[in-house]
Amino acid sequence: MARGDLHNLIRLHEWRVDEKRRRLGELIRVLEDLEDRALRLEQELLEEQRVAGSSPGEAGFLYGNYVEAVIERRERLAKSIAKAGEEVAGAREEMRAEYQNLKKYEVAQENRDRRVRQEMERREQLELDELGLQSYRQRKADEAATRTV
């Protein structure tokens, strides 16, 4: 890496941000899937309640066992959703921190690039000034030589 050049570090941190973003996307998809499963479970329960209500004699004993299983599944899903939510929050924080690191390097590189550009412009202006001075001196010398002749 060249002195004063942060491009490699910037690329590394861009890659890390992308990895954190992909991981966050995966976790969000898992969370959404769990929430969809919980919603489907509730819809299934409502449908079973409707069926059990329409024929109470046949569904009476079976419905009780079904409700116990639904309650257990609901609790497991709620725990899974809570855990996935915590993982999403943690992944968001990691991505935010990595993005801040990336921005620090990008700003530092921009500042370095600006200083280099300003120094180059200053040197070019000095060279142009020197050329202008030499041209002025040459004209004055030519004018003086023309007057004496």
* Per-residue model confidence as pLDDT tens digits over 47-91: 888 887 777 777 667 777 888 999 999 999 999 999 999 999 999
Q: Apex CA 7: angle with CA 6 and CA 12, to 5°?
A: 100
C-alpha distance from residue 108 to each of 10, 99, 111, 115, 116 (Å): 10, 14, 5, 11, 12
Specify the pTM: 0.72
Region of poorest pLDDT, from 45-54, 98-107, 110-119, 126-135:
45-54
Show the domains of the chain with their CATH numbers.
7-144 (1.10.287)
